[in-house]
């Protein structure tokens, strides 16, 4: 018996010795999540128990900054450098624009892979895909499951850009055509969990989970969530805010499931779990969305706090001093420097990030006292800098540079609500009643962020000496800035119709057009029946170049609240079906008479009596198959007949 016990101890020690001693890194990046859209900041509306619990048990980063819009933040995280250093400072990469993060940049996953890490990306890339060298698998990630573009439908995984529409879902570099009806947030979560469960503990893990949620989707149905999450917010009157909150709830479930998978895999004790949004929320109908950055001023794209101060936390058993709120100045580039240092890499002179592990773990003072917010002279015409408690910002006013509360409330009403952080009261920020008139920062404003985080009072005249000092520092950064890589014109060669209906690289590594497989001219993708060429828009009053489609306000129509029957019946020549949500057991059955798969626990819904012969080919599955009015359900599952015609274009 003693011999057996001793043998078991030896085997256990041997297994433990095979595990890497360097930490694993799991980064979850939400998309367009507002400051006020997590419970730990005191919102009375949201339901984020998993996020709140992990924030409470870790370190809440209450003074953590990201870039004002998506692409620049992802660049800053993966390069460790301010976007002005590599031309990524202006706007985002629209899907049909031929540019990306420069190939001269060595990204974090490349550096970690050279140190023995396994590197995986799940979700959104959005750093350029017009040419193969720019793809994630060429930039250090050993696997990628997700999308190349910045937005897409959460159910059918199509992405629109102007008049173009195509599938945007990849496993590696291979298009994924059999996940229709699988809600994107849940699908990405399943894949992230599989990466964790399949990981060989002999190697340390770097996993970036880059969610599409809670970014708005395509224009016909901009906000989408599973019915289960929608039912959680039946008391919310505003239909779009309700849908948005349901999307947040689904995101929260994802965070909880991924964290639990670390426990199940026996990896948690040596893992650092990091959560942030990529930029502030899209509020007040901006981009057809209804996030809340309360009590901050502004939204995504702006350099007011609502656009750049992130809902963020770090959780890990490796943290020595937990359950606290950090108020130290931190930036997304610091995560790059900190991760690289903990992984065993050398400090980089070119990095703008600081290794802040001593602060995160031991609550020592942060080594950062200054950070560049951004300089964009091309598109949004704004710039800003933080130095200690002071902030200088140049930002012309527009309809989205005000203070916004959730749409069901007037400002005074929302101010008066009992706000109780589910975590820690010091993580909430209160500023009192907003001024009758917002400071005009066209010629620059100076704010004391310690006493005025909501940017009510411009002190540029009162503290003119401080204002001039920060202005001079900002001018020095401008001298170091490289020209933006941003390309305003969209390339017609990017049209997915030229590439079998799939968003794909359209320029090869030598700069020549990629051979393509065009769809037949009579084939229409969803939304293209009504698509009209966009008129060329002149530059906006406060921009040298008009902001791209993503950054322009679209007033949603009632038809955008849920998929219409016309959308359901739009024909897609794909020889596979929608897969239902993965919460159902995947017992697929193969129907020999039809070239598609379906879930055996779903009944077939017959088409309406007035359906045309072509429409008779369409079937659908839903969570409650008995309901004939399935088109009103958010889980819209396309099932297509491939028995007739040549459907191989996809």
Q: Give the CATH number, domain containing residue 60.
A: 3.40.720.10
pLDDT at 423: 61
Q: Report the number of distinct structural domains present in the chain.
A: 2
**Residues present in the chain in total:** 650
- Taking the CA atoms of residue 568, residue 572, residue 576 and residue 579 in that order, the dihedral angle to the nearest 10 degrees is -30
The answer on 189 and 66 residing in a single domain is yes
**Which of these three, 452, 480, 508, is where a domain ends?**
480
Whether residues 469 and 567 fall in one domain: no
- Pull the structure tokens for residue 562: 């849920």
Residues β-bridged to residue 25: 206, 272
Question: What's the pLDDT score for residue 416?
Answer: 76
pLDDT of residue 612: 36
Give bridge partners of residue 592 from the DSSP assignment: none
Q: Same domain, yes or no, for 471 and 573?
A: no
Cβ atoms of 321 and 361 within 8 Å: the answer is: yes
Per the CB < 8 A criterion, the answer to whether 181 and 579 are in contact is yes
Please name the residue ranges forming H helices in 198-264: 227-230, 239-264
Q: Decide if 303 contacts 381 (C-beta within 8 A).
A: no
**265 C-beta neighbours (distance < 10 Å), count:** 18
Q: Give me the pLDDT at residue 409, please.
A: 84
Beta strands 118-124 and 588-590 are unpaired
| Last-in-domain residue among 480, 512, 529 | 480
Do residues 472 and 584 both lie within one domain?
no
The answer to whether residue 544 is domain-embedded is no
Question: Is residue 333 assigned to a domain?
Answer: yes
Q: 326 and 471: one domain?
A: yes
Same domain, 388 and 239: yes
Instruction: Indicate whether 636 belongs to any domain.
Output: yes
Rounded CA separation 174/196 (Å): 21
- Assess if residue 489 is contained within a domain: no
Asked whether residue 572 falls in the same domain as residue 471, the answer is no
Any domain includes 552? no
Are 166 and 296 contained in the same domain? yes
Q: Is residue 543 part of a domain?
A: no
Residues 195 and 323 in one domain: yes
Burial class (CB within 10 angstroms; exposed 0-12, middle 13-18, buried 19+) of 9: exposed
Question: CA–CA separation, 552 vs 543, rounded Å?
Answer: 12
Determine the pLDDT at residue 408: 81
Residues 466 and 592 grouped into a single domain: no
Q: Is 126 among the residues known to form the active site?
A: yes
CB 127 within 8 A of CB 75: yes
What does the buried/exposed string (b/e) look like for 506-515 if buried means 16 or more CB atoms within 10 Å of the residue's CB? Answer: bbeeeeeebe
Cα dihedral 177, 276, 552, 635 in deg (nearest 10): 40
Residue 293, in any domain of the structure: yes
CB 528 within 8 A of CB 165: yes
Asked whether residue 199 is assigned to any structural domain, the reply reads yes
pTM: 0.82
- Domain with 182, as residue range(s), is 19-397+410-480
C-beta of residue 8 within 8 angstroms of C-beta of residue 189:
no
Q: Residue 151 and residue 159: Cα distance in Å, rounded? A: 6
Kindly compute the dihedral angle of the four CA atoms of residues 473, 478, 479, 484, in this order, to the nearest 10 degrees. Answer: 160
Phi-psi region of 420 (alpha: psi -120 to 50; beta: other; left: phi over 0): beta
Residues of the chain with confidence (pLDDT) below 70 = 1-17, 419-425, 519-650
Query: Of the listed 120, 126, 199, 499, which one is catalytic?
Result: 126
Rounded distance, CA 565 to CA 630, Å? 9
| Strand ranges across the sheet with 24-30 | 174-175, 170-171, 143-147, 118-124, 205-210, 24-30, 271-277, 313-315, 59-61, 324-326
The SS3 call for residue 411 is helix
In the numeric block, which tokens belong to residue 59?
């370190």
Q: Are residues 305 and 188 in the same domain?
A: yes
Same domain? 474 vs 570: no
Domain boundary among 480, 496, 513: 480
């Amino acid at each position: 018996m003693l011999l057996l016990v001793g043998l078991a101890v030896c085997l256990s020690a041997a297994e433990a010795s095979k595990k890497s001693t360097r930490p694993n890194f799991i980064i979850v990046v939400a998309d367009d999540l507002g400051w006020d859209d997590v419970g730990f900041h005191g919102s009375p509306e949201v339901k984020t128990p998993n996020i709140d619990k992990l924030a409470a048990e870790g370190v809440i980063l209450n003074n953590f900054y990201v870039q004002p819009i998506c692409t620049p933040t992802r660049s800053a995280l993966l390069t460790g450098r301010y976007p002005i250093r590599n031309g990524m400072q202006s706007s985002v990469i629209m899907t049909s624009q031929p540019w990306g993060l420069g190939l001269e940049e060595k990204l974090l996953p490349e550096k970690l892979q050279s140190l023995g890490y396994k590197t995986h990306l799940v979700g959104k890339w959005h750093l350029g895909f017009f040419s193969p060298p720019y793809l994630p698998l060429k930039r250090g990630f050993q696997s990628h499951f997700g999308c190349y573009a910045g937005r897409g439908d959460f159910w059918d995984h199509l992405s629109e850009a102007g008049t173009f529409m195509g599938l945007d879902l990849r496993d590696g570099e291979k298009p994924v055509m059999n996940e229709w009806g699988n809600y994107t947030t849940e699908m990405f979560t399943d894949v992230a969990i599989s990466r964790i469960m399949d990981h060989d503990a002999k190697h340390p893990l770097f996993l970036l989970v880059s969610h599409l949620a809670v970014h708005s989707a395509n224009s016909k149905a901009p906000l989408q969530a599973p019915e289960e999450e929608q039912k959680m917010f039946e008391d919310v009157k505003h239909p779009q805010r309700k849908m948005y909150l349901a999307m947040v709830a689904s995101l929260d479930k994802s965070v909880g499931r991924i964290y639990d998978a670390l426990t199940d895999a026996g990896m948690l004790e040596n893992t650092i779990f990091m959560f942030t949004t990529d930029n502030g929320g899209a509020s007040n109908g901006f981009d057809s969305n209804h996030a809340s950055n309360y009590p901050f001023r502004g939204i995504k794209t702006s350099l007011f706090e609502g656009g750049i101060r992130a809902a963020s936390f770090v959780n890990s058993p490796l943290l020595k001093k937990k359950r606290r709120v950090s108020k130290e100045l931190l930036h997304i580039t610091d995560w790059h420097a900190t991760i690289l240092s903990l992984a065993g890499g050398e400090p980089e002179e070119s990095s703008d990030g600081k290794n802040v592990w001593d602060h995160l773990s031991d609550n020592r003072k942060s080594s950062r006292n200054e950070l560049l917010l951004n300089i964009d002279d091309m598109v949004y015409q704004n710039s800003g800098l933080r130095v200690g408690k002071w902030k200088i910002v140049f930002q012309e006013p527009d309809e989205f540079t005000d203070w916004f509360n959730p749409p069901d409330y007037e400002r005074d009403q929302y101010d008066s609500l009992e706000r109780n952080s589910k975590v820690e009261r010091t993580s909430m920020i209160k500023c009192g009643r907003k001024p009758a008139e917002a400071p005009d920062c066209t010629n620059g404003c100076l704010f004391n962020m310690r006493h005025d985080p909501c940017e009510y009072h411009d002190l540029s005249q009162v503290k003119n000496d401080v204002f001039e000092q920060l202005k001079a520092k900002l001018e020095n950064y401008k001298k170091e800035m490289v020209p933006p890589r941003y390309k305003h014109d969209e390339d017609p060669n990017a049209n997915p119709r030229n590439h079998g209906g799939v968003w794909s690289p359209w320029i090869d590594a030598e700069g020549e057009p990629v051979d393509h497989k065009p769809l037949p001219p009579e084939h229409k993708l969803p939304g293209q029946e009504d698509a009209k060429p966009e008129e060329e828009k002149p530059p906006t009053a406060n921009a040298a170049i008009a902001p791209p489609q993503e950054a322009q306000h679209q007033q949603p129509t009632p038809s955008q609240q849920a998929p219409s029957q016309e959308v359901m019946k739009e024909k897609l020549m794909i020889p596979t079906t929608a897969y239902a949500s993965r919460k159902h057991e995947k017992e697929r059955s193969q129907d020999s008479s039809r070239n598609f798969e379906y879930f055996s626990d779903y009944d077939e819904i017959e088409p309406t009596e007035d359906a045309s012969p072509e429409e008779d080919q369409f079937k659908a599955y839903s969570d409650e198959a008995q309901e004939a009015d399935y088109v009103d359900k958010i889980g819209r599952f396309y099932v297509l007949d491939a028995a007739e015609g040549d459907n191989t274009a996809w």
